[in-house]
Amino acid sequence: IGPIFSLVNFTEPYRFNLFAERRISSVLTTEQGQNILLFGKPDEMIASGFRDPEAPFFCFQEFKRERDPNGDPLAQTLAAMLVGQAINNHQQPMYGCYVLGRDWYFLVLQEKSYCISRGYDATTEHLYDLFKILKAFKEIIKALTA
């Protein structure tokens, strides 16, 4: 996972950076008007900011083993994306990814709806697709921070 992120190079000085293991939190209001504190600690997060993340764009949740996984990587990724969306005042879609075994899944969160990609097997030629998708995310983030 690390080498792929390294090849994409998610760092543009003074525009956005790749942050590891940074806690993010926000208070979200439900449709019933109830406030809920939601927080996450994504393994990787691409956000504006230099030393500290400010406005998140992309959350990568931890790798889970294919057999006997602990936790729910989809729920963890969505929680981090919801926090990022709240921090950004819902101004743009939030993007995310989680890995389950050898399969990578990409997500887009727009307002109250989200979409999950099919799995991309990193042990096959899908590895090239993973790289293309991550490079496309980098271009989207460049456009958002221009």
Q: Give the pLDDT score at 68.
A: 62
Give, as one character, the DSSP assignment of residue 11. -
135: number of Cβ within 10 Å? 13
Which parts of the chain are beta strand (E)?
Answer: 17-20, 24-29, 35-40, 44-47, 56-64, 94-100, 103-110, 113-116, 120-121
Query: Amino acid identity, residue 127?
Result: L
The CA distance from 50 to 66, in Å, is: 35
Residue 99 sits in which domain range?
2-144
Read off the pTM: 0.88
The list of the chain residues with pLDDT below 70 reads 62, 66-69
What are the backbone dihedrals phi and psi of residue 138, each rounded to the nearest 5 degrees, phi first?
A: -60, -40
If one counts the domains in the chain, the total is 1
Tokens of 29: 């209001």
Q: Give the pLDDT score at 72.
A: 84
The DSSP bridge partners found for residue 107 are 96, 116
| Beta carbons within 8 Å of 60's beta carbon, 6+ residues apart | 1, 5, 42, 43, 44, 45, 77, 96, 97, 98
Q: Give the pLDDT score at 137.
A: 93
